[in-house]
Amino acid sequence: MIETLINLDKYRDLSGQCQFTVKPLGSSVWTLDALVVGAVIKGASPTYAWTGYRYQFMASTAVNLDKWSISASYQYPGRVAVGQLIRPRTQAYSARCYYRPNENIAVGLSIECPFSKGWKESERTVKESPVQMITEYCSGDRANLVSLMFEWNISYGKNRASRQNHRINILTEEKGVLRK
């Protein structure tokens, strides 16, 4: 029994998001990104009131050279609130390194959550809810954490709209009903 927004007397959602991108070298050679999300959600019905919170933090960094790219990312184990449902997020981190022999091919290595305890995702209702609901998913498989990657971008088909230099002349001419 999860109350919908229609049944509530009051529903308030105050949320904000802030994203930072820093380029210490002044170009896209090295970038640092951070994302912070926060929210407070309050609902009230004739019988009870509840409050839910959302907080998330994600960060990444990347070094892009002519032929090599290295990136790393991290996700803090925050939580998402959608009405009465609270969804705790898993802690996640990854690293990627790849080589580009030309602009269409990339070969590299990707590592997801090394030495972690596995993935844990869940969903539950707020504590004030008259009926509690808890769902939990756990994945402890560490066999697929390291992967080799090969990407090849293949262009196919005929480019029908070939790039051309068009000469545009703008002429202004007065025509109309009103004349002197």
pLDDT in tens, 55-67: 999 999 999 998 9
Spatial CB neighbours of 64, under 8 Å, sequence gap ≥ 6: 28, 29, 30, 31
- Residue whose C-alpha is closest to residue 38's, from 27, 25, 51, 54: 54
Structure tokens at 101: 């022999």
Per-residue pLDDT at 131:
77
Q: Is the Cβ–Cβ distance between 150 and 106 less than 8 Å? A: yes
Instruction: Kindly report, residue by residue over 11-21, the tens digit of the pLDDT.
Output: 888 999 999 99
- Report the DSSP beta bridge partners of residue 19: 35
pTM of the model: 0.68
Cα separation of 62 and 83, whole Å?
Answer: 35
Domain ranges of the chain: 10-152
